[in-house]
Structure 1
Amino acid sequence: MKKKLKLLLFGIALLTICASYVPIKPKSNYLYRFQNPALTIEQRVNDLVSRLTLQEKVAQMLNSAPAVERLGIPAYNWWNESLHGIARTPFKVTVYPQAIGMAATFDVNSLHQMAEYTADEGRAIYNESIKKNQRGIYLGLTYWTPNINIFRDPRWGRGQETYGEDPFLTASMGKAFVTGLQGTDPVYLKAAACAKHYAVHSGPEPLRHEFNIDVNDYDLWDTYLPAFRELVVNAKVAGVMCAYNAFRGQPCCGSDILLTDILRNQWKFTGYMTSDCGAIDDFYQKHKTHTDAEKASVDAVLHGTDVECGNVSYLSLYKAVQDHLITEQQIDVSLKRLFTIRFRLGLFDPIGSNKYDKITTAALEAPEHKAHALKMARQSIVLLKNQNNTLPLSKILKKIAVIGPNADNANSVLGNYNGFPSEISTPYKAIKAKLSNNADVFCDQAINYTSASYTRNIDLGEVGRVDGHKGFKAEYYQNGDLSGTPAATRIESAINYIWREGTFVTGNVSQKNFSASWTTNYTAPSTDEITFELSGNKPYKLVIDGQERTLSGEPDGMGVKSYVLSTVQGKTYHIKLEYRQTEGRATFNFKAGVAIKADLNVIAQRVKDADAIVFVGGISPQLEGEEMRVNYEGFSGGDRTSIQLPKVQTDLLKALKQTGKPVIFVIMTGSAIAIPWEAENTSAILNAWYGGQSGGTAIADVLFGDYNPAGRLPVTFYKSDDDLSKFDDYSMNNRTYRYFTDKPLYGFGYGLSYTTFKYSQLTLPSAVDGNKAVPVTFKVTNNGSRDGEEVVELYVSHPNSPMKTAIRALKGFKRIYLKAGESRSLTFNLSPQDLSITSKDGITKELPGKIMVSVGGSQPDTQTRLTQKTIERSFTIKS
């Protein structure tokens, strides 16, 4: 979401956001008809909207909708996130693998279960928050997830939030998420999902606010729209978010084609539409299609954009009615859609009216949720290479080296749009826990992602001491000047906070007006130059040994400021941090480290006596993501300028290879990385994505054979940048496995196992009439020596089509478990839609002719790389 948003812009709309909620009265004594649950939702919505003034209606169309105290309508914030677990909440929650990792599981059942658990935690947060009358951002039940944009180009930094490059996989996983999150109750939504960003949107990030995209109708309907159609028409998603960019000259949030014609008229969508955050301002500030906020807001609403996120252009709708640019009745259309969702969530019914009201904070990080996070992390890991059965490793190794920038980096496993769990597993910690106490597990960051220079972090939460405890002594005051007696005192292990508006900092200390201090004592183990880094959006201080230190850095206080302290070995330093907060959102972060310049040959010499070397590298959500302030070699603005693995990592791997010891490369990434040297020269390669809170444990389980990997790539791994088209070209020509005509390094759907599988007895009719489903039956056998899972993939191609079609397209997949020697017969039923072709006009047609069906553990052209074999048969659709 747009990082520059200023809460000041919300001032007018938020004046009453903290107003007391007037409880709904008992059934026998309702003041208003809309409070009566016995009426239909439509009746209740109509009654409520009829009682609002125009000013009140307009305010309800902001994401931060204020309370209407006179009617007992509580405040509500539509902006909430749950990409891979509830995100950005002040509560501790379960964090699952990043979306791209969940896509790599190729398991709709696991994703559906994850979404159910996420909705449980979301309900627990909402239920607990309204008890305290906390109704701010990230505490509601309308989640702006899933991101079902097609990951057409691996350079896009937000591709990690998607389910990959394939429309069928994206649609299947997206549907599983929506149905799991929204629940099956005939009356109430457990939570409301939102399909985003509708519809032709996938970078570049620096251009997204002004970029005008045009694609032909074939690509629009063949690639960019199928997943949205599936979620709207079949999954009945509650909401849709329109994108920042323009489509064919109109901003997506005011598009005749996307919103009016397709979404509302063709697909009959009746849910609510929200803008991306700040997108309405882009109409007149970036796209220049409108002259001011008033005209932009009118156009967006008339196209069906019901909520404005982030800014307050919609407040101009009051004047727009007076200026006869829009009628109050047209505004009512949006109001009714919005309140319908809130009623379906049960937000206007007496507490206890629906079963979801009973979900308590016991659901947060529930044992079954944490177990499922580990399951999905294991399922997501893709084994790309295993030369001479290097893996699994023996658990009786005497020494193992775990090195690299992601070896012990808790930030990388969490991805972006994430929550924060109570515990995070990193590869180093998990490997150390896996082996006996006699094993020597050596860990070293060794390098940064893009440079041999890096900062070795000093974990003051671990090495600092105060009052006989590890960590920091935190003292919180319910005032802005650290005066009086602390309202709350506790020991903390880290200082990394975002306190949202309308929440509590800790206990009963309100975020609205507080101050805090953290103290610890650090005894220097060596003589070093330590850099302390602080960042926050309110005043803060660093005090060392009773003296405030002058910080260097950005003068506006929004960026990182630092102070360098020269320490002497054995000396103890008293460190104190102070923070003062009066209003608005509060953020404060603190870390310490020592600058290091690595010598790659020295690193290699240090680990040459190890039995195995595990290099945990790749990239990080600190480098790729949404509209970021990042400008390292190969990265820009959240995107990548190159898909090559950063050179310093390849150089270190070359040095490690010279030791003669097995080198296992574990990649953390949210996107495809070009690793041609590594593919030829390392002993084994695991792609572990950003694995969530249990990512490290899952990696260790696969490395040592406690779990047999079966993840599959949801994106193509190209050989080099030369394989890519222009980033800002949205044509699908030579993009993704469906249209890429060269040979990739690792193809979509690729993934190895510690066992082998055989496919046989593929049967299907030789000819069928059009408009009929085609059964495809076959047998899968685990003919290896280990139990394991297999992802069965079915592809369809039209080799003699007179019209443009994909080289091949995924049309079925299923993850199954087979014991060694076990066989299972499976049947896929290909629908007429699965066998259809998209015309150049975007019309789906089922044409007579030959169709090739392939089933196996990969695409048919990659079978020489795999132990899994694919088999093919063709049939004919009769005219």
Structure 2
Amino acid sequence: MKTGIATTTMASLPQTIILLLLLLGAFAQARDSFACDSKDAKTSSLPFCKVSMPIPNRVTDLLGRLTMQEKVRLLVNNAAAVPRLGIKGYEWWSEALHGVSNVGPGTKFGGAFPGATSFPQVITTAASFNATLWEAIGRVVSDEARAMYNGGAAGLTYWSPNVNIFRDPRWGRGQETPGEDPVLAGTYAASYVTGLQGNNGDRLKVAACCKHFTAYDLDNWNGVDRFHFNAKVSKQDIEDTFDVPFKMCVQDGNVASVMCSYNQVNGVPTCADPNLLKRTIRGQWKLNGYIVSDCDSVGVFYNTQHYTSTPEEAAADAIKAGLDLDCGPFLAQYTKNAVIRGLLKEADVNSALANTLTVQMRLGMFDGEPSAQPFGNLGPKDVCTPAHQELALEAARQGIVLLNNRGPSLPLSHLRHRTVAVIGPNSNATVTMIGNYAGVACAYTSPLQGIGNYAKTIHQMGCADVACNGDKLFSGAINAARQADATVLVMGLDQSIEAEFRDRTGLLLPGRQQELISKVAMASKGPTILVLMSGGPIDVSFAKNDPRIGAILWAGYPGQAGGAAIADVLYGTTNPEGKLPMTWYPQEYVSNLPMTDMAMRSSPNRNYPGRTYKFYKGPVVYPFGHGLSYTNFVHTIASAPKVVTVPLDGHRHSGNATISGKAIKVNHVRCNKLSVGLQVDVKNMGSKDGTHTMLVFSKPPAGHWAPQKQLVAFAKVHVPARSQRRVGINIHVCKFLSVVDRSGVRRIPTGVHNLHIGGVKHSLSLQPATLGVIKS
């Protein structure tokens, strides 16, 4: 077996030129100070430049020195310089969804920074169910972001991650999300944000941003686009589903920013809704940071949604609702006149600026020379390092999901399968593997190159592209399959099928891909393996039911090293451990289901099937959490409580509606340390070492507003062959065993909750401390 990883390097540059660029980058000119330059005696001695002063005092001092015209030019993403105070202009808009991205004007590749590590697309990384990995990726991305900032090639404010729920399988941006489960998405958000922002107290390595708040999950479907869409959402679904990842991002991840979305929610643009921004994000959740609009959102709700009569009213509504920064020019154009006309107070503008300026100071942007600050030593040498690229490979390995393995057909043997036909429009993919909101990768390993490290390959595209509109290339693919010891078909989607502003119309493979797969499988001399690249689920029932197709893998969009990871899984160097972060539905599921219907729960009266594994009761191609291994893991619960007492606070009693319909309001419970501890033994029954991804679900007591089941915990454990490991699981009762009633009130159902771990069930009874008056 060959051990080297074949790669196609960034922009296909010769290695000598890349080495020269990196050497030149080592001597790249350091970024000048954004503000408070020690060489400028006139401004560096001003109070807002004094690092020893508390940040709120520094912000107050700076605000007192700005004119109204200067203030409004700081309300937008391309914030203007204030030369008289020694402050340079700043571009707020940079992106780092799964690596430093060149989407947004804040980041520029080239020169000393020709590329950055491109990790798998978020949906793939989420399939690892590995919070430690998510945080590690965040740390690497922020290292590279700081290095690029120091070299003048990027900003420090990154509008990532996207933590919207993958509600409808057709959504073109579902690939950017951590999937359909709110707890999974929220845990991902908190972990990735922690990695990005660092653990430096109130100081920030970079400032992350959880987006797009809220109920945003439609781009352009059947004549309805995100700019015109009014999401009609119940209080129950807002609290139970759509807001959960954002709340966890703010409260558990301490994120520095939240972005409001384009759409309206129940008739009000999210960026003009004080209930969402001022009262929820900042009031209830205590955001320590700023709220930014999606790009041109304020302009959209004035020009497109016609929510206000004048642009000044739109500017005033946005700022008074709690918006601090406009991605777009709108607030710079109309805020001053809004103040002059009495629609807005200058104090409101000051409040918005205080939030953005505080974040800039927490980033060290007012502390003088970047080189003298923490992370000031990061530079070109810290981007695309071997360790970073190895982490991208490891992330891809952990995110690949083995959907089917008939026989078993996998893993392939490099002794028996010496010649492999590699077929399909994604067989030699490079840029396709990094999905959207990506940058310029350090290097690529395509599936063809990855498999080429294990076997001799015969390559045929089969289709010119994923649209697969003709069969001209079929015969070459069929002949290759007849000659080879094994056939690997790399099929699926790309950004021409699913992307921002491009929702899918259905769930089947595009064009004639299915026909190609079936014909190649029929002709193949050896085992036929189907590898799928996609962000969203695909109805591949035909392949699942075809006895000639030995195995099916889903690789998502696996990042720059995706081809190497796919090959490692195919040949068993890596034992697959990924689990699906979203349900794979049959095509019939979407046939009569409008994307515009936001209801999560099924409704038999109107023939509505419900959404996600929590509420949908119909047939699936593959369920949420599905994923096979090359070994077999068995669970045994070593210890778990059978009864847990839920303590009420000292001033509540049953007559005060604390206990209603056998469910206790969460805000009437002493939640602080209320958790359930389990010890689970995981035994590897097979002959291969493997890492087990353990998902814990709870089925609440029956009730008309409870989900069928919900994810309450997950963990990873490496178990060598024929050995056993014990895993500790802690379930926070108020957060994860609660459900939401029809009024949007979160409650803990009393009675028996059934915990499911693989094939094992444990019954846990939750009981209130008393049904009478509780004394404090």
Please tell me the TM-score bracket, short chain as reference. Answer: 0.7 to 0.9
Matches within 5 A, 1:646-661: 646-661=510-525
- Is residue 727 of structure 2 the alignment partner of residue 826 of structure 1? yes
Determine if the alignment matches structure 1 residue 774 to structure 2 residue 676. yes
| Residue of structure 2 aligned with 1:85, choices 80, 93, 99 | 99
Within 2, Cα distance between the matches of 1:602 and 1:407? 14
Q: Does 1:146 align with 2:161?
A: yes
1:117 aligns with 140
Judged with a 3 Å threshold, the aligned counterparts in structure 2 of structure 1 residues 599 and 65 are, in CA distance, closer, same or farther, namely closer
Q: Which residue of 2 aligns with 1:320?
A: 338
- Which runs of structure 2 are paired with 1:95-134 in the superposition (5 Å)? 95-129=118-152
* Structure 1 Cα separation of the partners of residues 34 and 373 of structure 2: 19
One-letter amino acid of the structure 1 residue matched with residue 431 of structure 2: N
Q: Is the Cα contact below 8 Å between 2:169 and 2:537 reproduced in 1? A: yes
Tell me how far apart the structure 1 counterparts of residues 243 and 465 of structure 2 sit (CA, whole Å).
39
Counterpart-to-counterpart distance in 2, 1:322 and 1:612 = 74
The 1:23/1:748 distance shift into structure 2, 3 A limit, reads same
Larger CA deviation: 805-814 vs 829-838? 829-838
1:38 aligns with 2:52: yes
Equivalent residue in structure 2 for 1:159, among 174, 179, 182: 174
Question: Which of 594, 600, 605 is residue 732 of structure 1 equivalent to?
Answer: 600
2:564 corresponds to which of 677, 697, 709: 697
Residue 570 (structure 1) aligns with: none
Aligned equivalents of 2:644 and 2:83: distance in 1? 64
Aligned match for 1:604, one of 464, 478, 485: 478
Quick one: distance in 1 between partners of 2:381 and 2:473? 49
Distance (Å, rounded) in 2 between the aligned partners of 1:230 and 1:167 = 9
Tell me the distance in 2 between the aligned counterparts of 1:848 and 1:625: 43
CA contact (8 A) 2:491 2:533 kept: yes
Residue aligning to 1:372: 391
Distance, in Å, in 2 between the alignment partners of 1:27 and 1:36 is 14
Counterpart residue number, 1:271:
289
With over 3 angstroms needed to count, the CA separation of the structure-2 counterparts of 1:234 and 1:602, relative to structure 1, is closer
Q: Which of 293, 297, 314 in structure 2 is aligned with 1:296? A: 314
Distance 1:54 1:286 in 2: 28
The 5 A counterparts of 1:177-326 are 177-205=192-220, 207-326=225-344
Distance 1:101 1:94 in 2: 16
Instruction: Supply the AA of the counterpart residue of 1:118.
Output: V
* Pair 1:449 & 2:466 matched: yes
Q: What is the CA-CA distance between 1:748 and the residue it aligns to? A: 0.5
Normalising to structure 1: TM-score of the pair? 0.76
| Cα distance between partner residues in 1 of 2:294 and 2:308 | 17
| Corresponding residue number in structure 2 for 1:361 | 380
Secondary structure of 2:317's counterpart equals: helix
1-side partners of 2:357 and 2:457: how far apart? 60
* Aligned mate of 1:677, from 530, 542, 550: 542
What amino acid maps onto 1:408 in structure 2? Answer: N
**Which residue number in structure 2 is paired with residue 618 of structure 1?**
492
Query: Larger deviation: 87-96 or 755-764?
Result: 755-764
Separation in structure 1 between the aligned mates of residue 232 and residue 589 of structure 2, nearest angstrom:
24
| Cα deviation 1:162-208 (Å, max 9, x = unaligned) | 00000010011110001110001124200001010001100043510
1:24 aligns with 2:37: yes
8 Å Cα contact 1:259/1:303 also seen in 2? yes
Structure 1 residues not aligned, in runs of 5+:
1-17, 454-596, 628-637, 857-869
Measure, in 1, the Cα distance between the counterparts of 2:469 and 2:449: 23
258-267 or 38-47, larger mean C-alpha shift:
258-267
SS at match of 1:356: coil
- 1:872 corresponds to: 761
Following superposition, the deviation at residue 674 of structure 1 comes to: 0.8
Aligned residue for 2:619? Answer: 743
How far 1:268 sits from its partner (Å)? 2.2
What is the CA deviation profile of residues 497-549 of structure 1, one whole-angstrom value per residue up to 9, with x for unaligned ones? xxxxxxxxxxxxxxxxxxxxxxxxxxxxxxxxxxxxxxxxxxxxxxxxxxxxx
The amino acid of 2:514's aligned partner reads: T
**How far apart, CA to CA, are the structure 2 residues paired with 1:781 and 1:727?**
42
What is the DSSP-based 3-state SS (H/G/I as helix, E as strand, rest coil) of the residue aligned with 2:333? Answer: helix
**Does the CA-based 8 Å contact 1:20-1:69 persist in structure 2?**
no
Q: Secondary structure at the match of 1:873?
A: strand
Q: Distance in 1 between matches of 2:519 and 2:469?
A: 13
1:434 paired to 2:454: yes
- Contact 1:446–1:603 (8 Å) recurs in 2: no
- The whole-number CA distance in structure 1 between the counterparts of 2:35 and 2:219 is 46
CA shift digits 1:6-38 (9 cap, x unpaired): xxxxxxxxxxxx999675227998431111111
Using the TM superposition, give the Cα deviation of residue 773 of structure 1 relative to its aligned residue in structure 2, in angstroms.
Answer: 2.0
Change over 3 Å in CA distance of 1:699–1:366 after alignment to 2: same
- CA apart distance, 1:408: 0.7
Q: Distance in 2 between matches of 1:737 and 1:22?
A: 51
What percentage of aligned pairs have identical amino acids?
35
1:647 and 1:283 mapped to 2: Cα distance? 38
In the other structure, the counterpart of 2:707 is 806
Whichever residue aligns with residue 198 of structure 1, its letter is F
What is the CA distance between 1:762 and its match in structure 2?
A: 4.8
TM-aligned CA deviation for residue 285 of structure 1: 1.5
Residues 289, 27 of structure 1: alpha-carbon distance in 2 compared, 3 angstrom cutoff: closer
Please tell me the residue identity of whatever aligns with 1:161. E
* Displacement after TM superposition at 1:232 (Å): 1.1
CA contact (8 A) 2:700 2:749 kept: no
CA distance in 2, matches of 1:440, 1:319: 67
Change (3 A) 1:644 1:21: closer
| Structure 1 residue 440 displacement after superposition | 4.3
Contact 1:204 1:728 in 2 (8 A): no
* Residues 538 and 584, structure 2, Cα contact 8 Å, conserved in 1: yes
C-alpha distance in 1, partners of 2:343/2:457?
73
Residue 7 of structure 1 corresponds to none
How many Å apart are 1:816 and its aligned residue?
Answer: 1.3
In the alignment, which residue of structure 1 is the partner of 2:746?
Answer: 844
Q: Is the CA contact 1:204–1:727 (under 8 Å) kept in the aligned structure 2?
A: no
Partner Cα distance (1:227, 1:606) in 2 = 47
For the residues of structure 1 that align with 2:247 and 2:728, how far apart are their CA atoms? 25
Q: CA deviation at 1:313?
A: 4.2
**Per-residue deviation, 1:320:** 1.3
Inter-partner Cα distance in structure 2 for 1:19 and 1:348: 12
Shift of 1:602: 5.2
Q: How far is the alpha carbon of 1:599 from its aligned partner?
A: 5.0
Distance 1:19 1:693, change over 3 A: closer
Quickly say closer, same or farther: Cα 1:654–1:22, change in 2 above 3 A: closer
Instruction: Give 2:772's aligned residue.
Output: none
Q: Per-residue deviation at 1:228?
A: 0.7
- Kindly provide the CA deviation profile for residues 267-286 of structure 1, in whole angstroms up to 9, marking residues without a partner as x: 22231011000111111211
Q: CA 1:853–1:187 in structure 2 vs 1: closer, same or farther (change >3 Å)?
A: closer
Q: Describe the superposition over 1:377-432 as per-residue Cα deviations: whole angstroms up to 9, x where unpaired.
A: 10010000111121111213342111111001212101000011231111001111
Counterpart residue number, 2:430: 410
2:460 touches 2:476 (CA, 8 Å); kept in 1? no
Q: How far is 1:265 from its partner?
A: 2.1
- The CA RMSD measured in Å over matched residues stands at 1.8
State the one-letter code of the partner of 1:388. Answer: G
- Name the CA distance, whole Å, in 1 between partners of 2:296 and 2:347: 25
Q: Give 1:298 shift.
A: 1.0
Compared CA separation, residues 422 and 256, structure 1 to 2 (3 A): closer
Aligned to 1:716: 583
Question: How many residues matched?
Answer: 684
Output the TM-score relative to the length of structure 2: 0.86
